[in-house]
Amino acid sequence: MLVLGGARSGKSRFAQELAAASGCEVTFVATASPGDEEMARRIEAHRRVRPAEWCTVEAEFDAARAISRAKSGSAVLLDCLSLLVSNLLLRDENAADDEVENQLLAEVGAIFDASERLELLVVVSNETGQGVVPPTPLGRRYRDVLGTANQRAAGRSGTVYLMVAGIPVKIKP
């Protein structure tokens, strides 16, 4: 399942509701890293609203490996694909565009392959293609690569929601 939306659209809250409603043991795969004070505060705010019984795994780069370690028949919430893309893009900033894109698409494929033994996988990602064109080459590269990763994730997901002002709009199936 994929939950897309803009910034502050309610993606994470809705994804947590979906995972909790599964009735399964939940593993939360977090891709954010506290690179500065503001991001550290955001991460802490997200931690406070997660159920204490959920297992949290930090996976800045290898989310597929983290998902593969979750208990069979459980639920996994990956929050979020957009930060995973950013992490990988910034780590390999000097790599050729197609090399980075191939690596990211392989990771997206591995995420969904690893989820086949789960009861539920919920992936959260930002929809960046509806905003302004970023003013820098790196910003445009990020938008393009994330757009391609989102397309791949949507293709592998049986259900896709687009969050609009806190309202989930089911767009697939």
Catalytic residues: 46
Q: Which residues pair with 160 in a beta bridge?
A: 2, 172
| 30 backbone dihedrals φ, ψ, rounded to 5° | -100, 130
Phi-psi region of 5 (alpha: psi -120 to 50; beta: other; left: phi over 0): left
Contact 14, 161 (CB under 8 A): yes
Cα separation, 31 vs 84, in Å, equals 6
CA–CA distance, 44 with 41 (Å, rounded to integer): 5
